[in-house]
């Protein structure tokens, strides 16, 4: 029996719930989707350096004149095969269930009235994948309701975080790159909103170098402690991108417009001492004693009356919230366009093909 349009639409929804099937299968799905909806490949071949789009074009072009109905059937069959071979435990779980299983990209602990959220991809310098964005949001939501007094974000290994995981850009859905940019902008906006709205004192323990979004959101923390080994780098222009995390507003406010421009437009990397002098960091500790000194300090703070701390935070932050949400929305909208630019695509490809590092 031939797959109907309804079967096809249902397969399109189902595919979003499957665990990542790997790039080869994703290319097949992409090619079949394009063939089923548009017919044989009808766009110019992308340039040789445009690796992702070229791979997609090759996969679509390889289907030649396969009829649309057959492509639709093949798409439905492929998704059905993936669904049945996919272990149900690897599919997206409801929130309560996920909490029970714990986090895959974080280590979250609650002790001494402190909830500690530790980014835990040390081999990848704690680069933030889509999964990690989602898990940090879940962990913050849980921490806002648990009985801890303060919440701390830190990193495992030698880095605090190298920012957005650039391979997030390669996971293009069948609907195309515009859809990817749109969903990434929604994810970014939701992620930053969680920091704007977080109700308890939020502390960053910056254990090593910090890049991109892991730096910009520091302007939304209440206190930032840094190891003397930490650096602060926002190379947005190098990456064809633009500031996020409300930094277009918080950084000029914290350090003045001229210093903020050096960081956000020209990508000047600050040492921990410089970041402290400019007000982005509250205090720098020698790397050798960083953990001991920071946790001793935080344990003392966590004994302060929690309601008083919450209310003080509200008084300090609440009048800015509406403005910060508007800024977050605008920065996310601008970035959605930037992600589609040649400047951004080329910078990401250069990193992924090992031609460039910061």
Residues within the interface to ligand LG6FSS7D (CB under 6 A)? 124-125, 127, 162-167, 184, 187-188, 211-213, 239, 241, 244, 351, 357-358
CB-nearer residue toward ligand LG6FSS7D: 319 or 357: 357
Q: Which residue is nearest to ligand LG6FSS7D (CB)?
A: 212
In the complex, least distance from residue 111 CB atom to ligand LG6FSS7D, rounded to whole angstroms? 29
Q: Which is nearer to ligand LG6FSS7D, 34 or 180 (CB)?
A: 180
Q: What 3 state SS string does 246-262 have?
A: CHHHHHHHHHCHHHHHH
The pair phi, psi for residue 353, each rounded to 5°, is -95, 15
Rounded distance between C-alpha atoms, residue 234 and residue 237, angstroms: 9
Nearer to ligand LG6FSS7D, 115 or 214 (CB): 214
Least separation in angstroms between CB 118 and ligand LG6FSS7D: 17
Q: How far is the CB of 313 from ligand LG6FSS7D (least distance, A)?
A: 25
Comparing CB distances to ligand LG6FSS7D, the nearer of 61 and 120 is 120
CB under 8 Å to 249, separation ≥6 — which residues?
Answer: 219, 323, 324, 327
Sheet holding 231-233, edge to edge: 210-211, 231-233, 270-271
Q: CB-wise, 199 or 240, nearer to ligand LG6FSS7D?
A: 240
Q: In the bound complex, what is the minimum distance in angstroms from residue 339's beta carbon to ligand LG6FSS7D? A: 8
Radius of gyration of the chain (CA): 23
The distance of closest approach from Cβ of residue 357 to ligand LG6FSS7D in the complex, given in angstroms and rounded to an integer, is 4
Nearer to ligand LG6FSS7D, 304 or 358 (CB): 358
Is 39 or 267 the residue whose CB approaches ligand LG6FSS7D more closely?
A: 267
Give pairs for 1-7: CB < 8 Å, separation 24+. 2/69, 2/73, 3/69, 3/72, 3/73, 3/75, 3/76, 3/77, 5/72, 7/72, 7/76
354: left (phi over 0), alpha (psi -120 to 50) or beta: left
CA 217 distance to own-chain centroid: 12
State the minimum distance, in angstroms, from the CB of residue 47 to ligand LG6FSS7D. Answer: 22
Residues 6+ apart with CB under 8 A from 222: 201, 202, 203, 313, 316
Residue 239 Cβ, how far from ligand LG6FSS7D at the closest point, in Å? 5
């Amino acid at each position: 029996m031939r797959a109907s349009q309804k079967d096809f639409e249902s397969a399109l929804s189902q595919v979003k719930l499957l665990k990542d099937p790997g790039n080869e299968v994703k290319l097949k799905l992409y090619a079949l989707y394009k063939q089923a909806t548009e017919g044989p490949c009808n766009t110019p071949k992308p340039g040789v350096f445009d690796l992702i789009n070229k791979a997609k074009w090759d996969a679509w072009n390889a289907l030649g004149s396969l009829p649309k109905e057959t492509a639709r059937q093949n798409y439905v069959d492929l998704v059905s095969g993936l669904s049945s071979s996919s272990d149900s435990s690897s599919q997206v779980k409801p929130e309560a269930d996920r909490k029970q299983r714990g986090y895959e990209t974080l280590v979250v602990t609650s002790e001494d009235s402190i909830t500690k959220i530790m980014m835990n991809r040390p081999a990848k310098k704690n680069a933030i994948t889509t999964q990690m964005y989602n898990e940090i949001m879940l962990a913050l939501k849980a921490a806002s309701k648990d009985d801890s007094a303060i919440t701390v974000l830190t990193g495992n290994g030698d880095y605090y975080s190298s920012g957005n995981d650039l391979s997030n850009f390669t996971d293009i859905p069948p609907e195309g790159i515009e859809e990817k940019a749109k969903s990434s902008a929604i994810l970014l906006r939701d992620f930053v909103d969680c920091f704007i709205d977080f109700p308890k004192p939020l502390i960053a323990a910056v254990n090593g170098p910090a890049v991109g979004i892991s730096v910009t959101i520091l302007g939304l923390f209440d206190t930032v402690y840094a190891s003397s080994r930490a650096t602060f780098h926002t190379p947005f222009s190098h990456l064809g991108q633009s500031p996020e995390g409300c930094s277009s507003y918080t950084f000029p406010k914290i350090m003045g417009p001229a210093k903020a421009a050096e960081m956000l437009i020209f990508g000047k990397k600050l040492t921990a001492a410089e970041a402290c002098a400019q007000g982005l960091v509250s205090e720098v500790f020698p790397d050798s004693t960083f953990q001991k000194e920071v946790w001793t300090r935080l344990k003392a703070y966590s004994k302060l009356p929690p309601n008083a701390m919450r209310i003080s935070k509200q008084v300090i932050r609440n009048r800015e919230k509406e403005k910060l949400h508007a800024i977050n929305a605008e920065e996310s909208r601008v970035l959605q366009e930037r992600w589609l630019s040649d400047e951004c695509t080329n910078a990401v490809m250069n990193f992924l093909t090992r031609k460039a590092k910061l």
